[in-house]
Amino acid sequence: MPAYAILALAIIGEVIATTALKASEGFTKLVPSLIVLVGYGAAFFFLSQVLDRIPVGIAYAVWAGGGIVLIAALAWIVYGQRPDFWGFAGMGLILAGVLVLNCFPRRPRISRSAGKQKGRSKLRPFRIVRSISGLLRLPARTGRRLPQIVRPRPLSQGRR
């Protein structure tokens, strides 16, 4: 079975369980409560089955995004909870994010020295920190101070 078909089953299980969660009224009604347990169990089972084929970040984004949009649609149909303009805008942004994750996958970078080093960990936290600071355009450890936008007054001047 294709990975995205299994992921669709996980989304359907989550949607059914979440819709029944409102009907269970705090787990005081037996049948909706059982539907919640079975639905979430199926959702997590199918999600776990797909994680060896789809990266966890993408699988979870599709699962959560699809679940949010479908649950909002069912809440509108079943319970009359119509989203406002900003609700529709937010769901549109969620769908756009899921599409970007699936249409433009980032390929993992493989270092040239991977595999040449024996006995050493391939995790290099200082390189990760340097690359993050390069992305954020933070100054490196050169002794320079970040400019302060608001300079606090010394306590000796007091408040006026």
pLDDT tens readout for residues 79-107: 899 999 999 999 999 999 888 888 876 66
| Structural contact between residues 28 and 54, judged by C-beta atoms closer than 8 angstroms | no
Asked whether residue 26 is domain-assigned, the answer is yes
Is the model more confident about 42 or about 114? 42
Asked whether residue 148 is domain-assigned, the answer is no
Domain that holds residue 25: 3-103
| Both structure tokens of 47 | 């999600």
Mean pLDDT of 42-60: 93
For 84-145, the DSSP string reads: -HHHHHHHHHHHHHHHHHHHSPPPPP--TTTTT-SSS-S--HHHHHHHHHHHHT---SSSPP
pTM of the model: 0.63
Report residue 154's pLDDT band, with 50, 70 and 90 as the boundaries.
Answer: low
Report the pLDDT value the prediction gives residue 102, as an integer from 0 to 100.
80
Asked whether residue 132 is domain-assigned, the answer is no
Asked whether residue 22 is domain-assigned, the answer is yes
Asked whether residue 121 is domain-assigned, the answer is no
Mean pLDDT of 30-56: 95
Asked whether residue 42 is domain-assigned, the answer is yes
Categorise residue 115: left if φ over 0, alpha if ψ from -120 to 50, beta otherwise: left
Report the pLDDT value the prediction gives residue 15, as an integer from 0 to 100.
96
Asked whether residue 131 is domain-assigned, the answer is no
Mean pLDDT of 126-151: 52
Provide the number of structural domains found in the chain: 1
Q: Count how many Cα atoms sit within 13 Å of the Cα of residue 90 in the half-sphere of its side chain.
A: 8
